[in-house]
A and B are shown apart, each in its own frame.
Chain A
Amino acid sequence: MDKIVISWILLLMMCVAYIVPIGLPLKIRTPSEKFYKFIESLPKDSKPLLMSIDFTAGGAPEIYPSMLAVVRHCIARGLRIVVVGIGTDEATVLMHKLFEESGIAKVYRYGVDYVGIGYIPGGEMAITTLATDFQKIVKSDAYGNKISDLPLTRDIKDYNDFSAVIPFDTAGVLTLWVRNWTPLKVPFFASMTAGYEPTFVPFYNAGLIQGYLAGISGGAEYELLSGFRGSAIKSMDMQSITHLYAVTLIIAGLIIPYLRKRR
């Protein structure tokens, strides 16, 4: 089969699945359910959640829907959040987009209920210092306000002042978060690409990570659980159809040359 024909069929299948969704049933996996239940169990006056944008613009279609659903759920529950970014300098712009699309400013007061710090350079050193000396590494937020002037962040000293840490990762810094924050016994949740899931299953099974959302399917599961339906659920049918197409191509690639040989 020609390369162009394969590509055109793929494009067509993706478009049809997106325009006319089949609505295949989605099975909720335990790690996603645990993630949702944790957010649901937190009381309104609990300590803020530390979220980290560690995904690039290229990885955003897979991880961003999960983050948007989690943030919307937090807003609905009245939970306070602090957003940082370690893995990529694109974090600050993605954070502005997140705040805009989640409509956080309409419900929350900036500096009291949520704070956007944005990109913090330093890689693993920044992750370690965030856990041990928050005020030392973060001096101001993404809008130029002093951290010590904002009611939400002025009393944050270290990891003890967060209810949980949630990195959203495609940039490969999740391992750094795990090895620096899980020994501190802070509830740890994460979102990673589907391809990275096997790497983090040992941490989850050992109880170091309490729950996670893997890829776009994890995002779709969270959207379904929280009721904040977004692009993840929409793209699940598309993913199903394209995966089926990929499997068909693999099988056809194996069988067709064999049949030709026999003739």
Chain B
Amino acid sequence: MSSEIYKLYIPQIIVLLLGIIIISEYFLAVPTLGIISSWARELGILVFSAAMVVAVVGVAIRSIREIKRRTPGEWYFHIWLLIFLFSWIITGCVLTSAHTFYKWLFENFITALYQAMLGLCVFSLFTLFYRFKPRLQLESILLSFTAVITMICGVPIGEVIFPGATALRKWIIEIPVMAVERALMIVMALGVVGLCLRTILGLERSWLGILGALIPTYRRGEKD
């Protein structure tokens, strides 16, 4: 019972109180609420930073475990992961990010790998363009037509091939796309409000590692 209080009720009470205070601060001009919510935001930033440290420790522990187990096809990658993880941390802490060596590591490892990964995706995408064979239905024809129009109208050559390409692209973005985007934004905003209220009121508990009311139902085998 005591572990349930610590794991379940105390986090929910904290969320309830802070949630009500931060929402109230937006609508009520009470200085105390402002001070408390400012403190809560500062605390949030600290938790965010601490979470990054926890993530690094978690990754390190998992990697060490995998190396010890000699998981086939995986363990040697974890050695590389640990080498790079700690060399980055040590270089960053000792030399700082302004140091030439840190910048060299960044340019030649992170940037190169990141851009190579994205570059490879582009080559695969181009082969996909050729292999893309939609069935002759209205939706697929519209999809192909839109892809061609947006691709060709977004670059200078579009205007050379088809005068008025820029105006057509502007119309596509400002009329049909904007209508859909607005609808999506409103729906998403309503969803976020609903989710926040559920979290504050303790109805949404997945952030505590609890899948609401689904777990007991499945355990009893009633859903199946």
Contact = CB atoms under 8 A, between A and B. Distances in A.
A197 interface: yes
Contacts of B134: 254
Contacts of B102: 93
A123 interface: yes
Interface stretch (B59-67, B75-83, B123-131, B206-214): B123-131
Contacts of A249: 126, 129-130
Contact of B181 (A126, A198, A240, A247): A198
Nearest to B184: A199
B144 A243 contact: no
A202 interface: yes
Contacts of A197: 173
A6 interface: yes
A253 B151 contact: no
Interface in B51-96: 52, 96
Contacts of A182: none
A3 B133 contact: no
Contacts of A24: 156-157, 160
Given A25-B156, A198-B173, A201-B178, A6 B38 contact: no
Interface residues of B, number: 53
B129 A253 contact: yes
B106 to A, nearest CB: 5
Contacts of A210: none
B1 interface: no
Interface in A54-71: 56-58, 60-61
A57 B38 CA distance: 32
B98 A128 contact: no
B136 to A, nearest CB: 9
B45 interface: yes
Interface in A211-263: 217, 236-237, 239-241, 243-247, 249-254, 257
A257 B130 CA distance: 11
A125 interface: yes
A29 B166 CA distance: 9
A192 B42 CA distance: 28
Contacts of A136: 38, 42
B91 to A, nearest CB: 11
A250 B97 contact: no
Contacts of A92: 97
Contacts of A241: 157
A128 B40 CA distance: 12
A92 B134 CA distance: 45
A132 interface: yes
A90 B41 contact: no
Interface in A162-191: none
A160 interface: no
Interface in B125-148: 126-127, 129-134, 144, 147-148
B49 A253 contact: no
A41 interface: no
A58 B115 contact: yes
B98 A143 contact: yes
A240 B155 CA distance: 5
A48 interface: no
B41 A202 contact: no
Interface string A92-135: 11001100000000000000000000100111011011001100
Contact of B127 (A3, A123, A201, A254): A3
Contacts of A132: 38
A180 to B, nearest CB: 11
B177 interface: yes
B114 A58 contact: yes
25 contacts: A24-B160, A27-B159, A56-B114, A57-B114, A58-B111, A58-B115, A58-B117, A90-B110, A123-B48, A125-B41, A125-B44, A197-B173, A202-B182, A205-B174, A217-B154, A237-B156, A239-B155, A241-B157, A243-B152, A244-B161, A249-B129, A251-B148, A253-B131, A254-B134, A257-B133
Interface of A: 1, 3, 6-7, 10, 24-27, 29, 56-58, 60-61, 90, 92-93, 96-97, 118, 121-123, 125-126, 128-129, 132-133, 136-137, 142-144, 194, 197-199, 201-202, 205, 217, 236-237, 239-241, 243-247, 249-254, 257
Given A57-B106, A239-B155, 4 more contacts: A121-B52, A137-B45, A247-B148, A251-B148
